[in-house]
């Protein structure tokens, strides 16, 4: 198979590597309009960017399908981490195998003297991390005077990690006529500034759709009690039984603790964090590739650039700091057309923050609870049956032993022993306190199993607070405080629950007590809500429009328009109606005047 617009040696290498078609980003950089121009390429993690920039710079490197002689490197590829730089080198080695290219990798944690010798012997393409490349440059061992192309891979990550000065020093040492190719999953302002400074007449290519969530990743948000997080991790690993899984923690200490916990529970796990040496990191990654380990516990920095083809499950044990981190973590799976699952563990008090993050990332996540022991055992039964019924290849000695066993033990006992042996290799699932029937009863008030959602047209913009809203609802609706369930306050409206058996009575009372010309309580619009708060939040995340017919806009920034089970603050428990005298300190909410009255 040959690929159009691609030099013959690279086309043959792609075909030999199993490529039948190019990915969108690879096809885009090979188009005629992209040739010879500086590029700013925005593409998802795992979309084939490494091969894409290998194709993009081929015209500058090849003469008659071969690499010409040069005293210094012709191309430079810069990556944020050792693992990613080494991965880039491996990809370019097979892609340029038939061109005579010499590829040298320069990364921290490796022998710098050996790297200098390789550079002195001659290198066509140099791949490295910013710090190590800058060191070789300052020592006079990296000659960039003949450079024809420079690539910044995962440019946004390099800036986040504080490599701006290193990058600027390296780029300032390159000749004016070189091509500059910027590849990044996201395009924040610092990337825009970098492109303006070091590129001329650049072409922008984006293969990232409006839905920033990766199309091959299924996102799941799992609510859990804070004390149940480690147990939830165990159950998720058992439930999905992924060939390879990666668990993200925020700190080295948390990585160490979770790794120890999982190892003690019987999981084959490795750890990756900043405290591990390069040799330890290499051994851990090799164990995952060899299937000697199936679980990797890692920090964000340690896991950047990891490419494991068998990785199908990512678990955010600790909530990502922002939407970009969520995207980069999750992008470790769902690569090269394969399906993956990303699970976010959400402690109950932090649900609001995760909802806002998902809306900001334009990711639709399926909400639910962590799987319990019964769900895991049901999964186990199906997997066990599949394994036990699979055909096996056995030699004559094995079959002879099998016949002897059958003469002394019944087939049912043999099958039971086989099942028991398989079960013994599986860590036991955990009972989750947050998912127990007793816990659910505590979270759900009696009498609120069947409810109707109502809404009122005041929210945080009008200084609304639950302690002031509850007495108003009682007076306007002629009900007691025990008849009001959850109260969820958003930017410019509030939703609350009324039991179904009282809904009609409540609706009639608030209509009778409405008084647009009277005091502030009577001016508040209270009505049945056509949607639940969750549905309203989804609508707003898509179109950012205010409520129909009210003539208002959402709160500036958009993120304030969502709903939460903790209206008084992110760290508090879901609101439940409490006894009140209707008084209390502080100022009541007020309604902002608008054209046409309140």
Find tokens 């006894």 and name the residue: 579
pLDDT digit string, tens, across residues 175-211:
988 999 998 876 777 888 888 889 988 899 887 654 4
Q: Kindly state the tokens that stand for 410.
A: 């019944």
**pLDDT, position 194:** 85
Which residues lie below 8 Å from residue 512, measured CB to CB, with a gap of 6+?
Answer: none
Nearest-angstrom CA–CA distance, 58 and 403: 63
**Higher pLDDT pick, 117 / 4:** 117
User: Where is average pLDDT lowest: 11-25, 434-448, 537-551?
Assistant: 537-551
CB of 272 within 8 A of CB of 299? yes
Q: Kindly state the tokens that stand for 213.
A: 């969530």
**Higher pLDDT pick, 584 / 106:** 106
Bridge partners (DSSP) listed for residue 90: none
CB of 213 within 8 A of CB of 360? no
Vertex 194 angle, CA 193 and 198, to 5°: 120
Find tokens 């973590």 and name the residue: 329
- What residue ranges in 311-376 does DSSP mark as E strands? 311-316, 340-347, 366-369
**pLDDT, position 446:** 65
Which residues lie below 8 Å from residue 366, measured CB to CB, with a gap of 6+?
Answer: 218, 219, 220, 221
Nearest-angstrom CA–CA distance, 271 and 268: 11
| Residue 217 three-state SS | strand
Nearest-angstrom CA–CA distance, 537 and 565: 13
**Higher pLDDT pick, 494 / 306:** 494
User: Where is average pLDDT lowest: 88-92, 233-237, 259-263, 449-453?
Assistant: 449-453
pLDDT digit string, tens, across residues 341-381:
999 999 988 888 899 899 888 888 999 999 989 899 888 88
CB of 258 within 8 A of CB of 249? yes
Region 427-453: what's the mean pLDDT? 68
pLDDT digit string, tens, across residues 42-67:
876 667 888 999 999 998 999 888 98
User: Where is average pLDDT lowest: 174-188, 314-328, 431-445?
Assistant: 431-445
Half-sphere exposure of 172 (CA within 13 A, CB side): 8
CB of 567 within 8 A of CB of 487? yes
pLDDT digit string, tens, across residues 504-527:
999 999 999 898 887 778 889 999
Alpha carbon separation from 520 to 14, 193, 213, 513 (Å, rounded): 71, 50, 44, 12
CB of 459 within 8 A of CB of 251? no
pLDDT digit string, tens, across residues 380-418:
888 888 877 878 777 888 888 888 888 888 888 888 888
Annotate 35-62 with b (16+ C-beta within 10 A) or e (fewer). eebbbbbbbbbbbbbbbbbbbbbbbbbb
- Domains of the chain with bracketed CATH: 8-206 (3.40.50.300), 213-443 (3.40.50.300), 445-561 (3.30.70.330)
Vertex 178 angle, CA 174 and 184, to 5°: 90
Query: Which H helix or E strand runs over 238?
Result: helix 229-240
Region 211-223: what's the mean pLDDT? 74
The answer to whether residue 558 scores a pLDDT higher than 60 is: no
| Residue 484 three-state SS | coil
Report the share of the chain in percent with pLDDT over 70.
Answer: 83
**pLDDT, position 592:** 43
Which residues lie below 8 Å from residue 582, measured CB to CB, with a gap of 6+?
Answer: 471, 474
The answer to whether residue 129 scores a pLDDT higher than 70 is: yes
User: Where is average pLDDT lowest: 112-126, 140-154, 319-333?
Assistant: 319-333
């Amino acid at each position: 198979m040959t690929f159009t617009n691609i030099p013959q040696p690279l086309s043959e290498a792609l075909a030999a590597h199993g490529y039948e078609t190019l990915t969108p980003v690879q096809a885009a950089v090979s188009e005629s309009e992209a040739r010879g121009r500086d590029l700013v390429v925005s593409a998802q993690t795992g979309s084939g960017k490494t091969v894409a920039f290998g194709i993009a710079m081929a015209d500058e490197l090849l003469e008659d399908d071969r690499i010409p002689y040069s005293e210094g490197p012709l191309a430079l590829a810069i990556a944020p981490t050792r693992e990613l730089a080494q991965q880039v080198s491996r990809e370019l080695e097979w892609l340029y195998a038939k061109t005579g290219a010499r590829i040298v990798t320069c990364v921290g944690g490796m022998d710098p003297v050996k790297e200098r010798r390789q550079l002195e012997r001659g290198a066509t393409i140099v791949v490295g991390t910013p710090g190590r490349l800058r060191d070789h440059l300052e020592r006079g061992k990296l000659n960039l005077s003949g450079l024809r192309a420079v690539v910044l891979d995962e440019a946004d990550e390099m800036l986040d990690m504080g490599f701006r000065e290193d990058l600027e020093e390296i780029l300032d040492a390159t000749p004016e006529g070189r091509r500059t190719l910027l590849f990044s999953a996201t395009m924040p302002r610092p990337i825009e500034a970098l492109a303006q400074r070091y590129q001329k007449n650049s072409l922008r290519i984006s293969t990232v759709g409006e839905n920033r969530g990766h199309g091959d990743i299924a996102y799941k948000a799992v609510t859990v009690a804070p004390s149940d997080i480690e147990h939830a991790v165990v159950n998720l690993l058992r439930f999905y039984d992924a060939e390879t899984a990666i668990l993200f923690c925020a700190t080295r200490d948390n990585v160490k603790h979770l790794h120890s916990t999982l190892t003690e529970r019987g999981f084959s796990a490795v750890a990756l964090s900043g405290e591990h040496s390069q040799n330890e990191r290499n051994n851990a990654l090799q164990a995952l590739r060899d299937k000697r380990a199936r679980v990797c516990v890692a920090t964000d920095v340690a896991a950047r650039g990891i490419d494991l083809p068998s990785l199908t499950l990512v678990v955010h044990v600790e909530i990502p700091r922002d939407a970009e981190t969520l995207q980069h973590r999750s992008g470790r799976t769902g690569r090269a057309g394969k399906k993956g699952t990303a699970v976010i563990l959400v402690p109950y008090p932090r649900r609001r923050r995760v909802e806002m993050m998902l809306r900001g990332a334009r990711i639709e996540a399926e909400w639910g609870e962590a799987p319990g022991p019964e769900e895991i055992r049901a999964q186990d039964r199906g997997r066990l049956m599949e394994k036990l019924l699979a055909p096996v290849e056995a030699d004559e000695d094995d079959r002879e032993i099998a016949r002897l066993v059958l003469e002394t033990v019944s087939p049912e006992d043999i099958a039971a022993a086989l099942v028991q042996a398989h079960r013994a290799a599986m860590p036991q699932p955990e009972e989750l306190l947050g998912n127990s029937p007793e816990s659910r009863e505590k979270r759900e008030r009696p009498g609120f199993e069947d409810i109707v959602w109502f809404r009122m047209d005041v929210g945080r913009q009008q200084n609304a607070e639950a302690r002031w809203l509850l007495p108003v609802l009682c007076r306007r609706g002629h009900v007691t405080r025990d008849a009001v369930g959850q109260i969820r306050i958003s930017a410019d409206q509030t939703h609350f629950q009324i039991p179904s058996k009282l809904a009609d009575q409540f609706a009639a009372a608030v209509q009778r007590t409405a008084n647009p010309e009277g005091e502030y309580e009577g001016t508040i619009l209270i009505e049945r809500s056509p949607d639940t708060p969750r549905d309203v939040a989804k609508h707003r995340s898509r179109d950012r429009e205010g409520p129909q017919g009210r003539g208002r806009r959402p709160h500036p920034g958009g993120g304030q328009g969502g709903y939460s089970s903790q209206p008084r603050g992110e760290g508090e428990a879901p609101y439940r109606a409490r006894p009140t005298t209707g008084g209390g300190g502080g100022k009541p909410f007020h309604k902002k005047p608008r054209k046409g009255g309140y």
